[in-house]
A and B are shown apart, each in its own frame.
Chain A
Amino acid sequence: MSSSIHLRLALTLSLLPALALAQTTTSTTSTAVSLAYPLPIHWAGDLTTSTKSFNASNCNDTLTLQWDYFLGGISGTLSGPMTLWATTASTCESTGPATGDVTYPSVPQAYITGTRTGQFSVSIAALPGFNASDSDGGVSVTCGETGVSLTHLICGLIPYYYGTTTTQNYPATPLTLTYDTKPPTTPTITSTSALDSSATVSISYDSDTVTVSSQYSEADLDGGDVWVDGPTISVANTSKVTLKELTNGTTYDVRIYALDGAGNVSAASDVAQVTPVHTVGFFESLQNGGSTETGGCEVSGSMLVPLAALGLLRALARRSR
């Protein structure tokens, strides 16, 4: 086969994934987003995360955050160090930290353009919203307080020359830190579906919910329910929980809990009941209709013919080269 044939075959085959192009573009968007903003601030534990939730158990923690400067993202020459600060305001101030904000060590200009990435530490307990004296906009709660949701922004900016002498500030894409000790609203079981040795539970939940956990128990047990943990699902993918390895004909009590991004757990939902049943799929239906089909993958005599033909085809292909 000539190289031109190879080339044309490759060209033609390269057309095949064309339908998947749009999907590919979509799947790379998260990376492209970072590049679209020259100065994002991330949680160093997961550089794709620009929002992070925490709860009362994290009050003594220190988070490591990371900034990245994408060369060429700012048109102009930097004119000073990068300023980093935390605020309880709803947006980062364009002129830098306001009264009451907590500032972090600034980053020298040469370090920004030379290394183009760096990390800094943020103490949870020292965030402005947890210090009445440093309160920003009157927000102040105690770290450890329950039933509270408080959002901080971790902000940054770099000054640069706009023209020859005028300077402007370029804002970083902030990281959102949410102190959340407020549990999600109690979820609801909207319906159950009895399957073969399993059951599906359809649920509804509030927008704060990130995952849903489940528990089940045989109903009518003497001495009350003995709850067994079922699966925990991410509501980003599905709004149904499937319980498996149940016994057909046995009635089960089912309840669910909602969990938010900070790990707060809601109260248990109302209990629903479901009784798995034996179901008859296509193959068993075929059997019940008198078919003698047994399935299986044993190689029968008729397979030898196509296998021999495949060998012949391969030999012909070698010969044509």
Chain B
Amino acid sequence: MKKSFAVAAMLAVLPLVARADEAKGATERNFLLEFKVSPFLTNMDNGYAAGTGPYFTFYGGGPMLLAEAELDFEVWKKFGTISVGLGGGYAEKYAHAWISGTNTRSGEASGLHLVPLKLLATYRFDYLWSRYDIPLVPFIKGGFVVMPWWATKGSDIEVTSTGLRAAGYKSGLSGTLGLAFVLDVLDRRLARDFDTASGVNHTSLFAEFTLQDMGILELAKNTKPLDLSSQHWDFGIAFEF
């Protein structure tokens, strides 16, 4: 009985400490722009014995560095924020090509290049921040991914001795869970000035984990395709304006 009374009392007090939904004088917010990087490793070595996959054999197993940007348009701002957006990124990895029939590397570099392009829907639970000043914003994203890729040898797109050109794209789905920390809480005056000067309402640092399944249809067609699916972490900064 005492417990339920305490909970009821706390819930009654919460709105009193809540601040106004948007600070007085804050500009309208409609977009969110993210810049992020990720140690990016695809699943192309899945299905091979450890240390024998094509990526590990050629590039040594270290991850690629994926840099991405994403622009979201906020379409619903009530209990949290729903937005739709577009994202794009780039990753590359280089190693020297093998001299044919040997285990010796040549002087010729061979690169793998990936350009993930995304169409995303996002829900950000920013109610705790906007109502109670708690600077943590969990979010979830889902979307479609198209990923052009190409491999180079020297300065040109690689063409195999059987005439295959090393370029194509994969398409698939992605799902993301993340948590953002709103930096405004560290210096509210600076955040307000930034908003007044450039229209940026909030700035956040965030981490997110993405499951990306590429080649939904292609995987069924090929026994060992180039699998660009991934499970990866991203770390970045976001500007809401």
Contact = CB atoms under 8 A, between A and B. Distances in A.
A278 B110 CA distance: 13
A9 B241 contact: yes
B200 interface: yes
Contacts of B146: 303, 306
A200 B148 CA distance: 30
Given A12-B241, A302-B171, A302-B172, A279 B27 contact: no
A8 B28 CA distance: 10
B239 interface: yes
B169 A195 contact: no
Interface string A4-39: 110111011001000000000000000000000000
A286 B54 contact: yes
Interface string B33-62: 100000000001000100011100111000
A283 B199 CA distance: 47
Interface string B49-79: 0001110011100000000000001010000
B172 A286 contact: no
A193 interface: yes
Interface residues of B, number: 61
Contact of A316 (B75, B169, B226): B75
A281 B152 contact: yes
Most B CB within 10 A of own CB, among A280, A281, A294 = A281
B162 interface: yes
Given A277-B106, A281-B158, A306-B144, A286 B218 contact: no
Nearest to B155: A242
B151 interface: yes
Interface size class of A (residues with CB under 8 A): 35 or more
A7 to B, nearest CB: 7
A196 B168 contact: no
Interface in A245-295: 277-287, 289-295
Given A12-B241, A292-B224, A282 B198 contact: no
Contact of B97 (A15, A196, A290, A301): A196
Interface of B: 27-28, 30-31, 33, 44, 48, 52-54, 57-59, 73, 75, 84, 95, 97-100, 106-108, 110-112, 119, 144-146, 148, 151-154, 158, 160-162, 164-169, 171-172, 198-200, 216-218, 222-226, 239, 241
